[in-house]
Amino acid sequence: MAETASNMIPLGTQAPEFELPDSVTANLYSLTDLQGEKGTVVMFLCNHCPFVKHIADEIVRVANDYRVLGFGFLAISSNDVEQYPEDHPDLMWKFARKHNFTFPYLYDRTQEVAWNYKAACTPDFYLFDEDLKLVYHGQLDNSRPGNGIPVNGRDLREALDALMNSRKVPGPQKPSVGCSIKWKYRP
């Protein structure tokens, strides 16, 4: 299984705005619609990636633990569904239901949102503060399929705790590792 790491972008980067359909409800959501009072977690996921499947249930636990504390959560799938039909929106809602997603699972048909965020892999995690400035971009934790390390969400949880308590997010921030975004042709 090929591994791709996150493109580490500068902390303080402003979150790009968007409006995308939710694969579960078909509602259109913008970033500001889903923004949390304390901060917002933007996750790039897809249905077929073994790295995402490995941590999907922990992502939901993290979202459930921190949503009640004022954080917004959303997931985006940007893969080219012509090449990877298992990531089609008709199957995204099934994946979301299977894993009991408590947050929108948005479909980025044009891949413009992934491009604007400089997303590189699935999973890819971004934590923005209350002003939508990037404070964390990295991995969920050190667990990977087959490495025997338990999935616990430690890195993202530490970043959320720091932001919640007005502390600097601990570093160094380790890039997420997973499957590459399945891009359509890019000039």
Position 187 confidence tier, pLDDT thresholds 50, 70, 90: very low
Q: For position 14, which CATH number holds? A: 3.40.30.10
Q: Is 106 within 8 Å of 76 (Cβ atoms)? A: yes
Residue 132's domain spans which residues? 4-180
Domain count, the chain: 1
User: Which residues fall within 8 angstroms of residue 182, CB to CB, at 6 or more apart?
Assistant: 46, 79, 80, 83, 84, 87
Whole-structure pTM value? 0.96
Report the length, in residues, of the chain.
187
pLDDT digits (tens, 9 = 90+) for 70-108: 999 999 999 999 999 999 999 999 999 999 999 999 999
Beta strands in 102-176 (DSSP E): 105-107, 121-122, 124-129, 134-138
Q: Does any domain span residue 102?
A: yes
Among the listed residues 65, 44, 132, 57, the one whose alpha carbon sits nearest the alpha carbon of residue 98? 57
Q: Does any domain span residue 186?
A: no
